[in-house]
Amino acid sequence: MNVYPLLRPLIEHVDAEVAHGLAIKALSTGLVEACASRSRSVDDPVLATRVWGLDFPNPVGMAAGFDKHAEVCDAMLALGFGFTEAGTVTPLAQPGQAKPRLFRLTEDGAVINRFGFNSQGIEAFAQRLERRSRQGIVGANVGKNKSSEDATADYVACIERVARLCDYLVVNISSPNTPGLRALQARSQITELLERSMEARARACGNDIRLPPMIVKIAPDLDDQALDDIAQAAVATGIDGLTVCNTTIARPPMTSRHRNEPGGLSGRPIAAQALACLHRMYQLTGGRMPLIGSGGIDSGAEAYARIRAGASLIQFYSAMVFHGPGLVKTIKHDLAACLRADGFKSVCEAVGAAHRPAGRA
């Protein structure tokens, strides 16, 4: 039974960040994980997919930002996600921006945050990953400290500590809440950052284990030239993929009283912007690298649109604030129905279908 609709009116009376903390505490007890595991059904076979040599039971993931400190990775997997992404984590612990810094825009199905990479630091994060059984696919999303004068060194430090402990790495250079971070998306800077990050990954892993795929998470606010620069740098350096995209600083028409709060906007209002960015990046990379579609996904139909636009995997977070943990099951069910209705036997067959000539779906 899905009790979230009954609890939601009560939850909305609680400060958004407090409610988030309570959710993490509830998940960390293991009770939710145990109950979810007992009632979890087997995913529809049409949802199984293989990306970067990893076998995903389904392409629906929990985006970074929910489990910032890697506290509930296994609980998220037990809820039915095909993968989950912890972070963003920084080398040193830092408190982030002053509170309040998380706002629900209920009327708009959106969230604004200005956390600023609040983090317990890479060591605490890594120790939690070390205690995991390593069942299920978990990514580590890494960033820089606010006060750091050498951003690349921060990414290197995080990667060297967790590369052996996660299934994939995400270099987050697109949060709008850390001063100077988005400047790293410029072509001259991103090339050096990616080269040094890949060297750090190689040093950390040596010849003992496979290298975890390295993905870069980009902003949706980039113009065509900036997107082209990133695509060229991504292909030239040989990174493994891109997450398209992070929160936006744009403010489309909204009605909530919090609509003009500073910070990154996520949720339903950015869906069109995120989808357009995904289409463009798939074209610019020529479909040569896997993309993760993120931003404004709140239904199976929206997830399917991202896959057709070129996403091999999709992620959501904000939508769960309004629909609860049962949303992952709904999205999977409806996504499977969309795939079968169009005659696809797998997710892989549908990736990029919107870019293929009619009759070659």
Active site residues per annotation = 175
Closest Cα to residue 135, out of 201, 84, 68?
84
- Burial of residue 124 (number of CB atoms within 10 Å: 0-12, 13-18, 19+): middle
* Backbone φ and ψ of 58, nearest 5°: -160, 160
Contacts of 206 (CB under 8 A, 6+ apart): none
In this structure, are residues 137 and 118 in contact, taking their beta carbons and an 8 Å threshold? no
d(CA 315, CA 60): 6
d(CA 284, CA 323): 34
Q: Hey, which residues does 244 pair with through a beta bridge?
A: 218, 293
In this structure, are residues 4 and 326 in contact, taking their beta carbons and an 8 Å threshold? yes
The conformation of residue 175, written as its DSSP 8-state character, comes to: -
- CA dist 219 to 72, 205, 322, 351, Å? 26, 29, 23, 21
d(CA 279, CA 286): 11
